[in-house]
Amino acid sequence: MDKIDKALSKLVSKEKARIKNIIKALQSGRFDNLDIKKLKGLENIFRVRQGGLRIIYQTIDKEVIILKIDKRKEDTYRF
């Protein structure tokens, strides 16, 4: 089980559904209506905010790679 699957398994079903919809939107290139912000000091790494949850992802040649899914806390943005 990779880190993303493990993070999803810890979420309640309502949160899982929201996260899966956001991931599908990112992979299809639909960035509208998403709270996206580029992370400072990091190249091509962004975060999507959904309530208390954060999805950290990287774009490489228009491909979206999910790096981390976590609830907002002090070490959320550490890799």
pLDDT digits (tens, 9 = 90+) for 45-74: 999 999 899 999 999 988 999 999 998 887
Domains along the sequence of the chain with CATH: 3-71 (3.30.2310.20)
Looking at residue 73, what is its pLDDT?
Answer: 82
Q: Find, among 46, 58, 56, the residue nearest to 3 by Cα.
A: 56
Looking at residue 18, what is its pLDDT?
Answer: 92
Looking at residue 54, what is its pLDDT?
Answer: 94
At residue 79, the 3 state secondary structure works out as coil
Q: Per-residue pLDDT for 1 more than 60? A: no
Q: Are 57 and 46 in contact (CB under 8 A)?
A: yes
Give residue 32's pLDDT band: very low, low, confident or very high (50, 70, 90): confident
Q: Which residues contact 49 (CB under 8 A, 6 or more apart)?
A: 35, 37, 72
pLDDT digits (tens, 9 = 90+) for 35-44: 999 999 888 9
Question: What's the sign of the alpha-carbon dihedral 39, 74, 49, 18?
Answer: positive
